[in-house]
Amino acid sequence: MGITIVGVAAMASLAHAYNFDFDGAPGKHPLGSIGFYSSGCLDSDARIEGTEAGLLKLMNERDRRYGNPMMIELLTGLGAAYHHEWQQNGAPARPYERIQLGDIAQKGGGQVSKHASHQTGLDADVVYLRKDFRETKQNRGFEAGFDETFVHGKKVSANLDEVRQWWVWRFLYRSGKMNRIFVDGNIKAYFCKQAARLEPDDKAEREEVLRMLRPYPEHADHFHMRLACPAADAKCVGQAPLPPGSGCSDRELQHDPGEMEGRRAVSQSILDDEMDPFELLAEPQDDDHASPAGGVVHRDGSHTLPRECRQGKPR
């Protein structure tokens, strides 16, 4: 099977509300997310301002508050809905904890310290919601990590508020914009057990929310949300869709070590054509092949940075 499937349809509609000229050429539309989550860059100046309802941006020293416009819109919408649901509708005296955001991407995207991904503005780190409603101090130094682990041994902390946490994940699932969410494997296992209580009425949706959660090490103090490529971002390289089912079996609760950095990656245009990406990538290939979205996908699933990202970061 040849790799000649180029979904050019998406290229015709580069419509962003933001005007950030990636390569300096006048009149060009911003490209949005370019390349793969762990090998790409970001052509957009959309960002979290820090004043959004329901959100608290942490780690501001690092200035990794830029994202694909779809990411910023989704986070802003999530914050507003969360604020409405858990603060305005609550009793006035009820304690309140905002959704606490860690790194998204730096301006222009590309590689940043501490992360393999976060390069295209489609990844964001978020603190688990806490029963004690504690908010982390916003600025704790350039290298600061998160300040509370929610797994002790293999046990999930009693401070993880599973009701609000499920609400957030269900909101993200319902947005239709998600690719996957990385969580600690013990936390996924915990939610596999709790889901029927948290969402008794809709088994199908419950399983879809669980399915989105992917076990991955080093996610005991935050979860990592990863969006699918926006349809208009013709240079964006997406990741293979998730296998069917809730992923709650013992075997599935073991993490797939290639998942964060993108083995099984596949170009968005191929996804748009509804081809089976697993089948595609399972094909023996004589050579590395050029991804239709730019950049090269190697036989081992690794990526070469797309041409558009090589001139260094824009501006």
Q: Which residues bind Zn ion (CB under 5 A)?
A: 125, 224
- Report the nearest approach of Zn ion to the CB of residue 174 (Å): 22
Question: Quick one: 78 or 234, whose CB is closer to Zn ion?
Answer: 78
Q: Quote the CA–CA distance of 124 and 117 in Å, as a whole number.
A: 10
Structure tokens at 44: 């957009």
Cβ neighbors of 166 (< 8 A, separation 6 or more) are 191, 194, 195, 198, 199, 209
**Which residue lies nearer to Zn ion by CB, 113 or 249?**
113
AA identity, residue 163: V
Q: In angstroms, what is the minimal distance from the CB of 131 to Zn ion? A: 23
User: Which of residues 83 and 188 has its CB atom nearest to Zn ion in the complex?
Assistant: 188
Residue position matching structure tokens 């390289």: 237
DSSP-assigned letter for residue 309: G
Question: CA 294 → CA 111, 175, 256, 269, 288, distances in Å?
Answer: 17, 27, 26, 11, 13
Backbone angles phi, psi at 80, to 5 degrees: -65, -45
In whole angstroms, give the CA distance from residue 195 to residue 210.
8
Distance of closest approach, residue 115 Cβ to Zn ion, in angstroms = 6
Nearer to Zn ion, 229 or 232 (CB): 229
Closer CB to Zn ion, residue 112 or residue 231?
112
CB of 215 to Zn ion, least distance (A): 14
Query: Nearest distance from residue 118's CB to Zn ion, in Å?
Result: 6
